Amino acid sequence: MNLHSENRSIPEPGPGEVQLRMQDAGICATDVHFWKNGEIANFTLTSPICLGHEASGVVSKLGQEVTNLAVGDRVAVEPAVPCQMCVLCKRGRYNLCRELRSCAKPPIDGNLANYYCHSANFCHKLPDNVNNEEGALLEPLSVAVHACQRAGVRIDSTVLISGAGPIGLLCYLTAKAMGAKQICVTEVDDNRLKFAKKIGVHHTLSVKSGTSEELASQIETTLGQRPEISIECSGNPTGLRNCMLATGNGGCVVMVGLQPDDVTVPLLDTALREVDIIGSLRYVNCFPIALALIVTGKVDVKPLITHRYKLEDSVKAFEHAHSMHDGSVKIIIHCDQD
């Protein structure tokens, strides 16, 4: 797939929308996947789209009927906008809305641009003590908040996190903020394990070698018990298998990373031990919680930002994100030309 920059006209906000002068945007693995493969999960590119969905911006123009924001407000963009009318939306599970439209999910353009228009109801105003880069990271942090809520992380929880990419590390920070007493992070990449230790992870384990049964035993030894909660963030079937075998009786495994359609897993063992397998899709009502975690200092996302690029250097930024050979974690693109 070809990746390039192009000039477009500045979009005008429709009713209920605001025009945003974009500030910072993070590169997500799904953005890279679209670039390299033209598809992810059940989304397939059939025509060119603009990428980017982790972003912050400044309100530059109001559409009709917008009363919750003002020109000049700094906001974080919650990229997935539901219909707000179906049964799921009315029950508060709008992330499952079948009519949901999300930035950078075909055929909707993303917000890696100078200007972007978005629903005002899904723009979250940032306080003065939260900068624009932190605002951009509210999106992946909300993924972690939703995963930890789905898992039921609480004070005294023992947690396994599979994968030390940005989402895995944010799940670690969130689980810690929610009171988890013991957290083990597993990973195949040594550089990512070193970074995990750098941000405070006490228990790390390389899973480059060994059977899932052997690794489950090592995880139990590392934590001093089997984890009550496992959060799979790698999207690797082996990681899912490791989690299912490692999780203690009566525990749960939350699937955050996107797995292939068909995987081979130890279902009988998992069922006989009443280990719950739980899906986790994006987030729902999580942006305010993620923002509160940052505002109160319970979660510091700034150390995860390892590299920064200007908008005109986006191709270089994506090439960097694709290689990730140097211990990079989160790459931010500055969109504002001022």
Phi, psi (deg, nearest 5) at residue 46: -115, -10
User: What are the helix (H) ranges across the chain?
Assistant: 29-37, 87-90, 132-136, 138-151, 166-177, 190-198, 212-223, 237-246, 267-272, 287-295, 314-323
> What's the CATH number where 266 sits?
3.40.50.720
41-50, 225-234, 238-247: least confident range: 41-50
Mean pLDDT of the chain: 95
Strands 17-26 and 54-62: antiparallel
Number of domains in the chain: 2
In a domain, 11, yes or no: no
Residue 327 has pLDDT above 80, yes or no: no
Distance CA 137, CA 23 (A): 12
> What's the CATH number where 104 sits?
3.90.180.10
In a domain, 4, yes or no: no
Residue 324 has pLDDT above 80, yes or no: no
The verdict on 176 and 244 lying in the same domain is yes
Residue 69: pLDDT band with limits 50, 70, 90: very high
Distance CA 253, CA 151 (A): 7
Q: Bigger pLDDT: 108 or 251?
A: 251
In a domain, 294, yes or no: no
Residue 199 has pLDDT above 80, yes or no: yes
The verdict on 191 and 251 lying in the same domain is yes
Closest listed residue to residue 100, CA positions, set 49, 34, 42, 147: 42
The verdict on 262 and 153 lying in the same domain is yes
The verdict on 148 and 270 lying in the same domain is yes
The verdict on 130 and 173 lying in the same domain is no
The verdict on 245 and 327 lying in the same domain is no
The verdict on 117 and 150 lying in the same domain is no
Residue 41 has pLDDT above 80, yes or no: no
In a domain, 237, yes or no: yes
Tell me which residue range forms the domain holding 197. 144-279
In a domain, 288, yes or no: no
The verdict on 316 and 245 lying in the same domain is no
Residue 63 has pLDDT above 80, yes or no: yes
Q: What is the pLDDT of residue 325?
A: 65
The verdict on 260 and 312 lying in the same domain is no
Q: What is the pLDDT of residue 38?
A: 80
Residue/partner pairs of 211-216 with CB below 8 Å, 24 or more apart: 212/238, 212/241, 212/242, 212/245, 212/266, 213/245, 215/186, 215/242, 215/245, 215/246, 216/242, 216/245, 216/246
In a domain, 51, yes or no: yes
Q: Please write the tens of the pLDDT for every residue from 115-156.
A: 999 999 999 999 999 999 999 999 999 999 999 999 999 999
Residue 187 has pLDDT above 80, yes or no: yes
The verdict on 117 and 202 lying in the same domain is no
The verdict on 251 and 124 lying in the same domain is no
In a domain, 101, yes or no: yes
Q: Please write the tens of the pLDDT for every residue from 258-298.
A: 999 999 999 999 999 999 999 999 999 999 999 999 999 99
Q: What is the pLDDT of residue 56?
A: 98
In a domain, 293, yes or no: no
The verdict on 245 and 158 lying in the same domain is yes
